[in-house]
Amino acid sequence: MIICHNEDMKKNFLVRAFFGVTIVALGGVLLLRNLEIIKFDNWSVFWGTVWAAGLVLAGLVTIVSSRKLLTRAWGLLLMAAGVSIGLNAYGVIDVSIWKLFWPVVLIAVGLMMVFSIGSGGRKRAEKLAADGRENEKIAIFYGEESRVRGDYDGGSLTAVFGGVDLDLRQAKIKDGTVIDVFTFCGGINISLPDDVIVENEVRGVLGGSDDKTVPKPSAKKTIYLKGECVLGGLEIK
Greatest mean pLDDT among 3-7, 112-116, 122-126 lies in 112-116
Predicted confidence (pLDDT) per residue in 128-145, tens digit: 444 444 577 888 777 888
Mean pLDDT of all residues in 153-175: 87
Q: What is the pTM of this model?
A: 0.56
pLDDT of amino acid 189: 92
pLDDT at 116 over 50: no
Between 104 and 86, residue with greater pLDDT: 86
Between 111 and 154, residue with greater pLDDT: 154
pLDDT of amino acid 112: 55
pLDDT of amino acid 115: 55
Tell me which residue of 189, 186, 179 sits closest to 232, measured CA to CA. Answer: 186
pLDDT at 103 over 80: no
Between 211 and 30, residue with greater pLDDT: 211
Predicted confidence (pLDDT) per residue in 182-196, tens digit: 888 889 999 998 888
Task: Kindly state the greatest CA–CA separation across the chain.
Answer: 65
Q: How far apart are CA 11 and CA 5, in angstroms?
A: 10
Outline where the chain has alpha helix (H).
2-34, 43-65, 69-89, 97-116, 121-130
Mean pLDDT of all residues in 194-220: 86
pLDDT at 127 over 60: no
Q: Work out the end-to-end distance of the chain between its first and last CA atoms, rounded to an integer number of angstroms.
A: 27
User: What is the average pLDDT value for the chain, to the nearest integer?
Assistant: 75
pLDDT of amino acid 123: 45
pLDDT of amino acid 131: 46
The answer to whether 146 and 165 have CB atoms below 8 angstroms apart is: yes
Mean pLDDT of all residues in 41-49: 74
Phi/psi at 19 (5° precision): -65, -35
**Burial annotation 121-140 (CB, 10 A radius, 16+ → b, else e):** eeeebbebbbebebbbbbbb
